[in-house]
Amino acid sequence: MQIVSYPHPTLRHKSKAVRHVDSELQIIVQQMFTLMYEANGIGLAANQVDLPLRLFIVNSEGNPEEGEELVFINPVLTQQEGQAESDEGCLSIPGVSAAVTRPSQVHVEAYNLQGQPFRATLSEMMARVVQHENDHLDGVLFTDRVATEDKLELEPTLDELAIEFQSRRDRGDIPDDEQILARLAEFEERYC
């Protein structure tokens, strides 16, 4: 398992609801935490590790020794209120950060890794992280939400990432779209 980078097609895949959790999925989630910590991240969505499932993980401290490891399965966001602007980055879009305006408060309902429902009203950084990760599940990247006048500045780095992606694909490091879709379909068959 590895974190995929822009413009990997799975980052644009709309994830499907998880219907059951098995021991293999629990191992997958543990591997996601390991990758997230290695990359110094605080949130990671399943798309980012090339999986088509509606789940993401968060540890607001980004450290296994601190903070709380939260798993959000089939999250539903409601009651988005207020507005706040802050810089965001993404483990799948290395080298890019930009201001994004989002609701400052959000209510979330989801299931944890034990299949138990939970709900929370989040604000500040947690509200932002959860909205950023939930966007991933719909194939939306934070760069899509950057104001038009700021987007131009990001283009050179995004173009570089696209060139790097293509050369890795040419070397055979990244499968073609058809192979990627076939693999996603296998996971959907199993878990959705």
Stretch that binds Zn ion, among 4-12, 18-26, 90-98, 175-183 (CB under 5 A): 90-98
Stretch that binds Zn ion, among 1-9, 24-32, 85-93, 164-172 (CB under 5 A): 85-93
Q: Which is nearer to Zn ion, 138 or 189 (CB)?
A: 138
Q: Assess 126 for contact with Zn ion (CB under 5 A).
A: no
CA distance 130 to 132: 5
Q: Assess 90 for contact with Zn ion (CB under 5 A).
A: yes
62: Cβ–Cβ under 8 A, 6 or more apart, which residues?
Answer: 36, 37, 40, 41, 42
Stretch that binds Zn ion, among 33-41, 83-91, 155-163, 182-190 (CB under 5 A): 83-91
The answer to whether residue 133 is catalytic is yes
**Rounded to the nearest whole angstrom, what is the least distance from the CB of residue 125 to Zn ion in the complex?**
14
**Rounded to the nearest whole angstrom, what is the least distance from the CB of residue 158 to Zn ion in the complex?**
14
Catalytic residue among 109, 133, 153, 178: 133
**Rounded to the nearest whole angstrom, what is the least distance from the CB of residue 130 to Zn ion in the complex?**
12
One-letter amino acid of 192: C
Q: Which residue has the tokens 């999925």?
A: 25
Neighbours of 64 (CB within 10 A): 12
**Rounded to the nearest whole angstrom, what is the least distance from the CB of residue 51 to Zn ion in the complex?**
14
Binders in 25-64 for Zn ion, by CB under 5 A: none
Given the rule CB under 5 A, which residues bind Zn ion? 90
Residues recognised as catalytic = 133
